[in-house]
Amino acid sequence: MPKKRLSVRKIHEILRLKWESQLSHRAIAHSCGISAGTVADYIQRAKAAGLSWPLSEDTDDERLNKLLFPKPMRSKGRTIPMPDWSYIHAELRRKGVTLSLLWSEYCNVHPGGYGYSRFCQRYRRWSKKLNPSMRLRHKAGENLFIDYAGQTLPVVDLQTGEVRQAQIFVAVLGASSYSYAEAHWQQDLSNWTGAHVRTLEFLGGVPEVLVPDNLKAGVKSPCRYEPDINPTYHDLAQHYGVAVVPARVRKPKDKAKAEVGVQVVERWVLARLRDRTLIGLDEANKAIRGLLEELNERPMKHLGKSRRELFELLDKPALKPLPAQPYEFAIWKKARVNIDYHVEFQKHYYSVPYTLIQKEVFIRATERTVEIFHQSRRQASHCRLQAIGHHSTLLEHMPAAHRKYSEWSPERFLSWAKKFGPHTAQLIEAVLHTRKHPQQAYRTCLGILSLGKRYTDERLEAACQRAMVAGIRTYRGVRNILDAKLDQVALEEPAAVTLSHHANVRGETYYH
């Protein structure tokens, strides 16, 4: 069993990358920031539990943990056969042989032997000098390297008329060096994801792995061992069925292809635009696209073929097809459900099932919709609205007691109150304004107006008049007035204030 269990979200990602993207354990480990042994252990556990991808809808977080980590059976003392580490070490030098394969062969001979994690731990303890270096071999359609150029491009801003420095996004395929570039104003999340969408449309397909530099927009925490992918960027990767393996910090070999691609774009695209006055980003990107076509058509001296020829020969046939719809930019936000079973996003409130009160959820907001997720499952979906301070509430999210009043509205209560008289309407309006949300005042309004059935309409109107004067805004207060028959007692007129006339009192003409 691993020393520390992974989060359910990371377990989902391991299974997706293995069974959907068909990546190796080493690539999955790099993408998820864990060891290859841990990946193999979780894959083995998933197979033993009979899981498949995608997971069934009834496999929630709790059930997934139980399936992957069943309670161990009490075992009696036994002797575990020791593998031949000399043989293991020699076999690992052969092409295509891995520890996972050797462990499987060991288990076929010794079914009750070491588990995979223990097997690897024992081997590494025996062979301390094992420290293989990583060689980058770019398979067709495998890696798309992504980075921003250090050089910017002067572009005139159409809104201000000022010259601004546009950022240059560069993407390069590993096998063919086929390149894409575009200009946008900022290296923010929307431009970052939008550039990825346009890159994949330009390529006409999807590679297996995205290899970005540790840009803040794509990687929240540029840790060498556990780079944490931005939720929006992870959302994009899931939409296209691609893995994200960020370049490691201070490991230039990981992004050598991207750095060379950036250098080529700076020399053959940006340098040729140095004396042009570009008006707006559209004109800048049109100019970049034209020079980019020339770059991809130019034969490379060391290979004798152009990037486009190599792309058509190697990368293009290996790319996965694009999904039916391009990725729609989405913002992710962590939130906690309030006691009124709503969550706030940009000062608008959206309802969730009331059973999630005080639970932590994730909000996914696109241009048109707002979705709320809890434990990787969507719990609510709303049309995105910009009305500040307003609520979007679905009837099925309400507790049974609240649904009773869902057919009511402040306007309906005021219309009913006006039938009793202006003082009743004034009191009902005041009651509605005493609550943060009008729905919370509906019970009080119903109680006050129902007093007209027990007493007369005239008495309720008089009681409401006295309640307004006394500052009473509750059902119990109005009922007490009626029970004590205070509504039948005439209201005292406020005493008139008489000013004395003497030399120190200024008349009204003094201020004219």
**Eight-class DSSP state of 11:** H
Output the CA torsion 188→177→266→185 (10° steps).
-20
How far is residue 169's CA from residue 193's CA, in Å, rounded to a whole number? 11
Query: 228 with 201: CB under 8 angstroms?
Result: no
**One pLDDT digit (tens) per residue for the chain, 512 residues:** 555 678 888 888 888 888 888 888 888 888 888 888 888 888 888 888 888 888 887 777 788 888 888 876 655 556 788 888 767 765 665 556 688 888 888 888 888 888 898 898 888 887 765 333 333 456 778 889 999 998 999 999 998 899 999 999 999 998 888 999 999 999 888 899 999 999 999 999 999 999 987 665 555 544 443 445 678 888 899 999 999 888 766 555 556 777 888 888 998 899 989 888 999 999 999 999 999 999 999 987 756 678 898 899 888 988 999 999 999 888 888 899 887 788 988 888 898 998 888 899 999 888 788 999 998 889 998 988 888 878 888 888 877 766 655 667 788 889 999 999 999 999 999 988 887 666 667 778 888 998 988 898 999 999 999 999 989 999 999 999 999 988 888 877 554 444 445 555 444 444 33
Angle at alpha carbon of residue 29, lines to 26 and 31, rounded to 5°: 110
Domains and CATH numbers, the chain: 8-70+81-126 (no CATH), 143-318 (3.30.420.10), 331-403 (no CATH), 410-488 (no CATH)
Spatial separation of the C-alpha atoms in residues 278 and 297, rounded to whole Å:
24
Q: Long-range CB contacts (< 8 A, 24+ apart) of 361-365?
A: 361/334, 361/335, 361/336, 361/337, 362/231, 362/332, 362/333, 362/334, 362/335, 363/331, 363/332, 363/333, 363/334, 363/335, 364/235, 364/330, 364/331, 364/332, 365/330, 365/331, 365/332, 365/333
CB contact set of 113 (below 8 Å; sequence gap of 6+)? 80, 81, 83, 106, 107, 119
**Structural tokens at position 135:** 């060689």
pLDDT at res. 463 = 93
β-bridge mates for residue 382, sequence order = 370
| DSSP codes of every residue in 211-245 | EE---TTTEEE--SS-PEEPHHHHHHHHHHT-EE-
Confidence at residue 489, expressed as pLDDT on a 0 to 100 scale:
86
Q: Give the residue from 322, 362, 370, 330 showing the smallest Cα distance to 194.
A: 330
Q: What is the pLDDT of residue 310?
A: 84
CA 37, distance to chain mean position in Å, is 28
445 class by beta-carbon count within 10 Å (0-12 exposed, 13-18 middle, 19+ buried):
buried
H-type helices in 110-252, by residue range?
116-126, 189-203, 231-240
Q: List % helix, strand, coil for the chain (3-state, nearest 5).
A: 45, 15, 40
Within 10 angstroms of residue 318's Cβ, the number of other Cβ atoms is 15
pLDDT at site 46: 86
| CA dist., res. 265 & res. 267, Å (int) | 5
Model pLDDT, residue 2: 58
User: Which SS3 state, helix, strand or coil, does residue 302 take?
Assistant: coil
Interatomic CA distance for residues 232 and 308, integer angstroms: 31
For the chain, the straight-line distance linking the first and the last C-alpha, in angstroms and rounded, comes to: 90
